């Protein structure tokens, strides 16, 4: 496992900051996906991860709403 991955996982687990770490990571991905030059792998990957998160959150929200009916 890379050092960066270890630190990210630790930060996600510990949550020692005033803002949720997953929110900051999402915002960074969103910014990167919107600001990097089109056609770069970084922008493509950031966009794909951001969209995957949004789709999963929508499914979770829809499942929660269905369970409350």
Tally the domains of the chain: 1
**13 within domain boundaries:** no
Q: What range defines the domain where residue 32 resides?
A: 18-67
**11 within domain boundaries:** no
Collapsed DSSP state (helix, strand, coil) of residue 8: helix
**Cβ–Cβ < 8 Å for 46, 26:** no
pLDDT of residue 41: 96
Distance CA 35, CA 55 (A): 21
Distance CA 21, CA 17 (A): 7
Q: Is the pLDDT assigned to residue 67 strictly greater than 90?
A: no
The pTM of this model reads 0.82
Q: Give residue-wise pLDDT tens across range 21-66.
A: 999 999 999 999 999 999 999 999 999 999 999 999 999 999 887 6
Distance CA 59, CA 3 (A): 32
21 φ/ψ angles, rounded to the nearest 5 degrees:
-60, -40
């Amino acid at each position: 496992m890379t050092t960066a991955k270890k630190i990210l996982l630790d930060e996600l687990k510990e949550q020692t900051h005033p803002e949720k770490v997953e929110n900051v990571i999402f915002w960074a991905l969103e910014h990167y996906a919107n600001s990097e030059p089109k056609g770069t792998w970084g922008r493509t990957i950031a966009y794909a991860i951001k969209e995957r998160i949004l789709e999963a959150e929508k499914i979770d929200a829809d499942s929660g709403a269905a369970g409350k009916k």
